A and B are shown apart, each in its own frame.
Chain A
């Protein structure tokens, strides 16, 4: 068994007096697809943002390949090359077309050549079904298409792990499927993923770990079967009954 990619220990986060995360503990192994579920406001986004250092944790530690992410060489930018993130609101660069959105990271951050960056970009754009749209600008795309480009953009950095923060929550219902099918195929290829989602069917089918969060703590975690079919806590049962 190789070392876990991420180890999160006693992580806490507060905004001023408002304690949002308390004593969060979990691990992500290579190839894991971990789904984080829980009610709105339970701290799922904050957890993901701490993992990517978009928020500074208030306490505890996050280990990436056994080293504390705050003491890594090159600081947060160097660490984030290895950890991709896909946002609810896509966050594409509006001044660039689809191809450039995917090549700017490899070129400016990883300093690969233009040819190589474009080759990689085309490979992943093909994978998410957006290769035909290389010349389009983000404002010319539908939500589902934007999100697929955002996924390709993250993949072009060859991350060790991909974080998804409710990737389908901002989409019209008919576009949810196209994004989930891309994520499903990534999981099949062995991509390590940490996914905050309200798509319970997806979590049940694709995840090998499910984490249930409630009011800033992890109330329970386990296999999809454990969480969905045999939840231990009343809150978990209530939550699952509500989202079903």
Chain B
């Protein structure tokens, strides 16, 4: 019990002294995780869609070759980024790009032009590389998730869409992708939560997120445990909040469980009124 109250006091002290740093770290973590997951999803969507474009026998050679090349490139991308540690990718890119292309490399130019556009420094090279690595990493995982998600949608709906004259692109946009998106939200959630935790490896190139704050704080006091407790609670809070938000999104996309019927269905010859039981009640009835 003594230890426990001592810990509480120390946590209080550590928090009082460093709360701003912790909060800034948490903000950096959540920003990096959310933005990189979103960009990663876009990359994954693009790769998944490109990989599932149907090729027909009578398509012209140019289209066939182009698609084959695109597919090969995506495969290599997915294998490389899924198959190597993110911490190493960060080092590889952060030090590798200037090594080959000097200090005026594309990344630096991009960062400079972004800062120029805002008129003040909003982005550092470290920040940019961190966003880049986490996004591209997430994209590699999402590419496969999206491809699987597209293939899992019943092909009958694709035919239904074709039959009313939709093109492949329209079918994708209006019919397949929305359902695929709904189905892969749990996977997106997984990625987001993994990213919230794993962005901590970006300390290797000097990105100051929540875990880096911990290292800074304990570096001056050498008291590790209270700060670790604070960090645990903050990480858990962020991941739980994200889980809840994604659950709510799922429910919203599923639409209401019941609907209003204004008049009786005059053509159905069922005996009695049709009632539409809620999903839950239906499961209980079974």
Contact = CB atoms under 8 A, between A and B. Distances in A.
A109 interface: yes
A80 B165 contact: yes
A104 B178 CA distance: 14
A40 interface: no
B101 interface: no
A84 interface: yes
B220 interface: no
Interface in B157-202: 157, 159-167, 170, 174-175, 178-179, 182
B57 interface: yes
Contact of A142 (B161, B178, B263, B268): B268
A128 B268 CA distance: 11
B277 to A, nearest CB: 10
Chain B interface residue bracket vs A:
35 or more
A110 B170 CA distance: 12
Interface string A134-163: 011100101011001010011001000000
Given A93-B157, A93-B175, A94-B157, A145 B265 contact: yes
Contacts of A52: 163
A84 B263 contact: no
A87 B156 contact: yes
A37 interface: no
A47 B277 CA distance: 41
B233 interface: no
B60 interface: no
A4 interface: no
A145 to B, nearest CB: 7
B20 interface: no
Interface in B199-216: none
Interface stretch (B66-74, B81-89, B224-232, B254-262): B254-262
B266 interface: yes
Nearest to A153: B164
A130 B264 CA distance: 9
A93 B160 contact: yes
Contact of B164 (A81, A177, A178): A81
Contacts of B265: 129-130, 132-133, 145
A59 to B, nearest CB: 14
B99 interface: no
Interface in A105-121: 105, 108-110
A92 interface: yes
B161 A175 contact: no
A187 to B, nearest CB: 16
Contacts of A208: none
Contact of A94 (B174, B179, B267, B268): B179
A77 B166 contact: yes
A97 interface: yes
B120 interface: no
Contacts of A93: 157, 160-161, 174-175
A133 B261 contact: yes
A95 B182 contact: yes
A54 interface: yes
Contact of A84 (B163, B175, B264): B163
Contacts of A92: 157, 160
A50 interface: no
Contacts of A91: 156-157, 159-160, 163
Contact of A108 (B57, B174, B269): B174
B274 interface: yes
Contacts of B264: 132
A4 to B, nearest CB: 21
B174 A157 contact: no
A131 to B, nearest CB: 8
A129 B264 CA distance: 9
Nearest to B58: A56
Contacts of A84: 163-164
B19 to A, nearest CB: 45
B263 A87 contact: no
B270 interface: yes
B190 to A, nearest CB: 22
Contact of A174 (B163, B259, B260, B270): B270
Across the A-B interface, give the 10 residue pairs with the lowest CB-CB distance, nearest first: A91-B160, A81-B165, A105-B164, A129-B267, A85-B163, A91-B156, A178-B267, A135-B259, A109-B165, A136-B259
Interface of A: 52, 54, 56, 76-81, 84-85, 87, 89-95, 97, 104-105, 108-110, 128-133, 135-137, 140, 142, 144-145, 148, 150, 153-154, 157, 174-175, 177-178, 181-182
Interface of B: 56-58, 156-157, 159-167, 170, 174-175, 178-179, 182, 255, 259-270, 274, 276
9 contacts: A92-B160, A93-B174, A93-B175, A105-B166, A110-B165, A137-B259, A142-B268, A145-B265, A153-B164
